[in-house]
Amino acid sequence: MPKDSNGLTLDGQGKPLWLSLEITYRCPLKCSWCNNPLDFDDYAARELSTDEWKRVLREARELGALQLGFTGGEPLQRPDLEELVAYANALGFYTNLITSGIGLTEARLVALKAAGLKQIQLSLQATEAAVTDALVGATAHERKLDAARRIKAHGFPMVLNMPVFRQNIGMTDAMIAWAAELGIEYIEFANIQYYNWALMNRDELMPTLEQVREAEQVVQRWRDTLGKKMTIYFVIPDYYEGRPKACMNGWGAIHLTIAPDGVAMPCQEARVIPGLEFESVRDKPLAWLWHESPLFRKYRGLDWLPEPCVSCDEKEKDFGGCRCQAFLLTGDAGNTDPACGRSPHHARVREATDTAARPLRFRKPLFKRAAGTVTTAFLED
């Protein structure tokens, strides 16, 4: 059965407990670690309509989905977000908004509260405006801080998410101090996974192991100081752990993502893997897609595992790791995740971590997420 890193059982008993709706890939920011597809702008004209999203919500609830994340892109780019939240709330979902905060005005917060939104996850990249704005390619820092204050003023439970990389990992202490002062209940430091835009920028973004360990110590000091006042998550990059993560708690185990064009996926990155059959809720019932489609059955469970995973006593914890990462680093999604120290391809990960530890003569420009082209912006450490 899938388990999280704390050993708690996360067995969905065949149900997609967590539903992620990528209602649009449109976004006002240009983050260099974005996990949206490199060709994200090609999907804008194919987004599901309001009624189509409502049908997805009904079918997902019938399947047993409980937790719901509205995400993107930036979900606030959809003017029907409040209508979808209200509909999901009426169906019995616990609704989460995963947002950059750009566009989260007072009027929209009031409307989302009235619609029944239960929780908001806000991303904040740094404690300094110059760093935030450079990283996201827009004047965003002050608007993010304002969004955080508004969220708390309206009484929403709030998760503050700081994606971690070498440019901001040294701000861990300052970020926790700021969050504690505002009264934020949960803060997550998520060392980024290297897919899509992040993989293009990996050499520039990856922190060193020394930086990660120092940040861990900072987090532990704050945990000791704050106790139960704040829950602090620190997600260690699997490149440094020597063991892979159970990606989405197992392929097709508890997590279901619906892309803007209606394609159902076991994770938001699955489209990077060639040769898979991607089918849309426009063409097939969601129940069939979850239970019977070749895509969801491809890497579900343990029967597909290669060696050394088949013989590994941890296979029921990590399920061979991430299929997308295996493909991106080895060219074959059926391989053991190279993040695993037992993988025959682990040298690919060691090369990356060795590069991160070496002093570079100069910093290369970051490839910025941009529609129709790849632009660059220079950002020093």
Among 259, 76, 236, 87, smallest CA distance to 164 is for: 236
Q: Find out whether 267 is annotated in a ligand binding site.
A: no
Q: How far apart are CA 135 and CA 341, in angstroms?
A: 32
**364-373 burial, b if ≥16 CB within 10 A, otherwise e?**
eebbbbeeee
Q: What letter does residue 58 receive in the DSSP assignment?
A: H
With a CB cutoff of 8 Å and minimum separation 6, the contacts of 33 are 163, 165, 192, 197, 198, 201, 205
Q: How far apart are CA 73 and CA 26, in angstroms?
A: 5
Q: Find out whether 27 is annotated in a ligand binding site.
A: yes
Q: Find out whether 31 is annotated in a ligand binding site.
A: yes
CA distances from 196 to 46, 83, 325 (A): 21, 31, 10
DSSP letters for 135-194: HHTSS-HHHHHHHHHHHHHTT--EEEEEEE-TTTGGGHHHHHHHHHHHT-SEEEEEEPP-
CA distances from 259 to 25, 34, 38, 71 (A): 9, 15, 14, 10
Binding-site positions read 27, 31, 34
Binding-site positions for [4Fe-4S] cluster read 27, 31, 34
